A and B are shown apart, each in its own frame.
Chain A
Amino acid sequence: MPGSRSMRLVECALRCYPRRWRSRHGDEAAEIACLLIGNGTPARSVAWSYLMGAVRTRLVIGPRRRLGAAAAALVLVAGSVGVPLALLSASAPANAASVAHSRAASPRPAHPRHGGSRPDEPRHGSGRGALDRCDRHDGC
């Protein structure tokens, strides 16, 4: 008969199973543990096996709970994506205002060095481009 310390270890592991499982298999599981430990299987090995079994049993999701779990996962994903998006959209008008302010403070040069449009192309809004165009045409 295994020692009380060994059995206490196994009982601790068995307590990790759901109550429903224990009411069905608990007595037999304890008996199997006694027999295995009596045959020379280390108590730690038996307890570890039961502990891992308890974790797996608790992780198994029944078919009725799958829909709820899927809905919960969807809410979690939507929340994790939606909150940063909401924060970004809340800060977007402030960013836009600061960009507009900086553009007004330093107007765009008429003849950019790299690429860009030709100086004689019509430009939108006021600026040197618009003034150049008006200088060339009599009607303006």
Chain B
Amino acid sequence: MTARERGDTGGQDVLRRAGDASVLILTSLADGSKHGYALIQDIKGFAGLQLGPGTLYGALDRLERMGLIEALPAEDRRQPYRITAAGVVALRAHLDSIERVSSVGRLRLGLEGI
């Protein structure tokens, strides 16, 4: 496994090109492990959009290859996942990046302080 696949890029925002689904999944897993259907329901709750199951599994496979999440032992037919230490670092870097863009956008729209 390469450093890039592990998400070990020296604090860079590795999630920039990973897609929105990956960010939503990592955000959902940030407060504890979840399986596929629980992820879909949680993301629908906090982001207001329902991930398609094909999109979900694609993103889960990609995040697992990057070493940002890991599969836990299966419970019955359900496969729970949890965020790894590299996943926490990557999510934090991505949220910082989004926050910088958000603050600049708000400033330029004159929304700062409202």
Contacts and interface: CB of A to CB of B under 8 A. Distances in A.
Contacts of B52: 45-46, 48-50, 52-53
Interface residues of B, number: 17
Interface string B35-54: 11100100000000010111
A68 B37 CA distance: 37
Contacts of B100: none
Contacts of A57: 57-58, 61
B77 interface: yes
B53 A27 contact: no
A34 to B, nearest CB: 10
Contacts of B35: 28
B38 to A, nearest CB: 10
B54 A49 contact: yes
Interface in B67-98: 77-79
Given A25-B57, A54-B54, A32 B2 contact: no
Contacts of B78: 28, 31
Given A27-B77, A28-B35, A28-B79, A36 B54 contact: no
Interface string A38-65: 0001000110111111101100100100
Query: By DSSP majority rule, is chain A's interface helix, strand, loop, or mixed?
Result: helix
Contacts of A27: 77
B27 to A, nearest CB: 20
A43 to B, nearest CB: 12
Contacts of A35: 37
Given A31-B77, A45-B52, A53 B57 contact: yes
Contacts of B36: 28-29, 32
A49 B78 CA distance: 19
Given A27-B77, A28-B79, A51-B54, 6 more contacts: A31-B77, A35-B37, A46-B52, A50-B53, A53-B54, A57-B57
Interface pairs A-B: 9 shortest CB-CB: A53-B54, A49-B52, A49-B54, A27-B77, A50-B54, A32-B37, A32-B53, A28-B77, A53-B58
Interface of B: 2, 5, 35-37, 40, 50, 52-55, 57-58, 61, 77-79
